[in-house]
Chain A
Amino acid sequence: MEFETYHFDAVIVGSGGAGLRAALMLSEKGIRTAVVSKVFPTRSHTVAAQGGINAALGNILPDNWLWHMYDTIKGSDYLGDQDAIEYMCREAPDVVRELEHFGVPFSRTESGKIYQRPFGGQSLNFGQRQAARTCAAADRTGHAILHSLYQQNLRAQTTFFVEHQAIDLIRDERGDIAALMVLDIATGEYKVLRSRAIMLATGGAAQLFRTNTNARINTGDGLAMILRAGLALQDMEFWQFHPTGLSGKGILISEAARGEGGVLRNAAGEAFMKHYAPHARELASRDVVARAIAIEVQEGRGCGVNQDHVWLDLTHLDSALIKQRLPAIREIALTFAGIDICQEPIPVYPTAHYMMGGIPTNIHGQVKTLNDQGEVEVLPNLFAVGECACVSVHGANRLGGNSLLDIVVFGRAAARQLIEQLSHQPLDYFDAPLDLQPVERRIQRWQACDASSSDGTPASLRQRLQTIMETGCGVFRTEDTLNKCIDDLTEFSAQVDKLMLQDRSEVFNLERLEAFELENLLALAWATVHSARSRQESRGAHYRLDYSSRDDDNWLKHTLYFQSQPVNTPRLAYVPVTLQPLTVPSFPPKKRVY
């Protein structure tokens, strides 16, 4: 096959907050940068983040980045790496002020400062009173940040490959990752982007589950590319189920609704969170609240005809405050449930939301893997940032408001490191010939069309996969559900092998795009179920009914998963959690109570 080849100093895959923050710094420094995105940049899923971004600015209550660090470590159920968490929390006030200068229309306090709201899992002075640390632009903070970052990239004249799907990383003859294969969706043309450095910023993959808050594009493309390149994914058993998805739909109802005073009630009208988190109640960390809701429903205290949800009640709040602080939530409830949240409670149930695991990196965004001797090794010139990366700042459970923070802090950190590295690298780096065979095989697989022999479409198979994963790897897991999940995936993989496409067009062939995405999701399904089956404890979002407590003696460690052939015999390895921060004393694991 012949491919048009383009040359850049840096190629960023993904145009959400992480990718755009990195791109902005690179473009401003004159690095020849291309951003590849399968959608127009402002369609990236950062746009849907609602509640806000954490930073110890202390605009409402006194605050300290060390308290933020403590809360994040506790929230992570001690699986987060304390060096990375210290770095993120210290950088937070600076990146937020920087965003403000980029134009983000934050809500304001009476004195004109950035408005901050209380959010789950945050406290003053190491677990005492509730903090107010989440900087907000009403309940459209992600939209405000993503648009501002795109706007600044327009100013900096960043090059975009819009509506280009990343297919795979390409190695050169020396074995180094040296290029990226992309598909121009509008023309069907495949292109090779050679680059001195590649940064993956492809976001999350909660499309793996039937009920989710994620966009259709969140299929974990970058993560599956890493697996196919023979590299590792870390902690893939940890998926966050957001407590308050709109029942039946899964659409996100922001934690801001509880931060502003919303209360969860069961069928008897009881505010049940006091039984699960006596102090923090509605603002305990997300894994705790999600399990509480699931238990209320399982034990027969669910609301509605089918008793399949609980109520999120905001009716006691001042409706002027709701209209000012939660306008988008009001709009969503009205559009999708026909409910005015000022008058009626919202039916909610947990929904797959966020991937704590991902591509292992250090705090400079450099991708890590294990070498042949089983030692951790940093790859030259390959970076990962944002939800697709696992630094790990979220460990086993992410705090609300730390995701928008993660993407801008590490987007910026990785760009800094990349600039530093390029300044030392010889310019002849482009020269080694590429090994295109593996990616050509993958392309050929989906060029063929034969409607007659196929059972299902990529879209219907995705739904089947989502159901398998929700049943086997949901809020509660056991050896049995996970084994069943492996059997189902084995059968499902055979179905995908037989899948043939019907759309023969080269122009905007969405069926082909969905086939590539389906392969990616399936690779992550295997990573998730194998990692989850091996971890015989409950920690953060990974809850095993058959091993219901945390086991620090055996499991205070990160999982590394490698794809192998056949996929139902995985290769797993474990590496220690970094308990030593950069400059402050460690926070040793202790019992987690909210």
Chain B
Amino acid sequence: MLTLRFSIQRYLPEQDRIPRMQLYELALAQMPRDWMLLDALEHLRQQDPTLAFRSSCKEGVCGSDGMNVNGKNRLSCITRLSTVWDEVKDKDGIIKIHPLPGLPIIRDLVVDMNQFFQHYAAVQPWLIPPAGDRDHELLQTPTQRAELEGLYECILCACCTTSCPAFWWNPDKFHGPAALLAAQRFVSDSRDQHTQTRLQALDDAYGTFRCRNIQNCTANCPKGLDPSGAIRALKRKMLTE
């Protein structure tokens, strides 16, 4: 018999003045090999339907269920339960779950992501193709297309941006790694016609250059992307072009 213990941050605005930690227990015959953390959280919700967290696709592609687990930002649906248990079982034996840091809390593990999405929109993350001919494909060689690898796959889960100290300090001004990764995605697209305008708009002491190369973003990206590298490449392009 295995009893897993979870300490989960709770906050119900109608009754809590400040967030509190609540202890949950889950009794299992043994560690289920194929369980993700999300499977465990769903069982806890059956014990306590008032525990609120976002989730949807269950396979790490919709980006809903970012949360801070044992001090690291992760997606609960692609994080193995055994992994987070192994991290604590020889210490205090409690898996600790908090909302993503640095954003206002709405309830329990649900954070207000408006600011995050505003920064995304601020970098104008849309392709501006050449005007005119809509009847033919815009050609792009495999080498040009390869420039987008590691950039277009972002799922906007905010694990990177909410792990970034520069974002914690200047959340209103610094775009943060997810938005800058998107910026670099369009700067790198051979089909886009506004590269220079984009680079000029991003050349800003706060928006881009608050990035101090701390690299928490890359360490916390659940999709294995490298926002830090993308930001370095973006800065380099600003200097050279």
Residues of chain A whose beta carbon lies under 8 Å from any beta carbon of chain B: 39-40, 42-45, 47-48, 57, 97-98, 100-103, 105-114, 137, 140, 143-144, 147-148, 151-152, 154-155, 186, 215-217, 248-249, 251-252, 328, 331-332, 335-337, 457-460, 501-503, 505-511
Q: A217 and B56: CB pair below 8 A? A: yes
Identify 10 residue pairs between A and B in the complex whose beta-carbon atoms are under 8 Å apart, listed by A's number: A45-B57, A48-B59, A98-B134, A103-B191, A108-B141, A249-B34, A335-B78, A336-B34, A457-B49, A505-B107
CB of B126 within 8 Å of the partner chain = yes
* Smallest Cβ-Cβ distance to B125: which chain A residue: A151
Assembled-state Cα–Cα distance A248/B142 (Å): 37
Q: B126 and A105: CB pair below 8 A? A: no
* Smallest Cβ-Cβ distance to A142: which chain B residue: B61
A144: B residues at CB distance < 8 A = 152
Please report the number of residue pairs spanning A and B whose Cβ atoms sit closer than 8 angstroms: 153
Q: A155 and B56: CB pair below 8 A? A: no
B191: A residues at CB distance < 8 A = 103
CB of B21 within 8 Å of the partner chain = no
Residues of chain B whose beta carbon lies under 8 Å from any beta carbon of chain A: 12-14, 34, 36, 42, 45-46, 49-50, 52, 54-64, 78, 106-108, 110, 112-113, 117, 121, 124-127, 129, 134-142, 144-145, 148, 152-153, 155-156, 186, 189, 191
A336: B residues at CB distance < 8 A = 34, 36, 59
* Smallest Cβ-Cβ distance to A328: which chain B residue: B61
The residue from A43, A328, A502 contacting B49, defined by CB atoms under 8 A apart: A502
How near does chain A come to B74, taking the closest CB pair, in angstroms? 12
Assembled-state Cα–Cα distance A140/B57 (Å): 14
Q: Name 4 extra pairs, CB < 8 A, besides A47-B155, A216-B57.
A: A102-B127, A105-B189, A336-B36, A459-B46
* Smallest Cβ-Cβ distance to B120: which chain A residue: A154
How near does chain A come to B71, taking the closest CB pair, in angstroms? 21
A105: B residues at CB distance < 8 A = 145, 148, 152, 189
B46: A residues at CB distance < 8 A = 457, 459-460
Q: B34 and A42: CB pair below 8 A? A: no
Q: A507 and B12: CB pair below 8 A? A: yes
Q: B140 and A508: CB pair below 8 A? A: no
B110: A residues at CB distance < 8 A = 508
Known: A143-B155, A336-B34. Contact between A103 and B189, CB under 8 A? yes
Assembled-state Cα–Cα distance A100/B130 (Å): 12
The residue from A97, A151, A251 contacting B58, defined by CB atoms under 8 A apart: A251
A101: B residues at CB distance < 8 A = 127, 129, 134, 138
How near does chain B come to A139, taking the closest CB pair, in angstroms? 11
Q: B137 and A97: CB pair below 8 A? A: yes
Assembled-state Cα–Cα distance A113/B56 (Å): 34
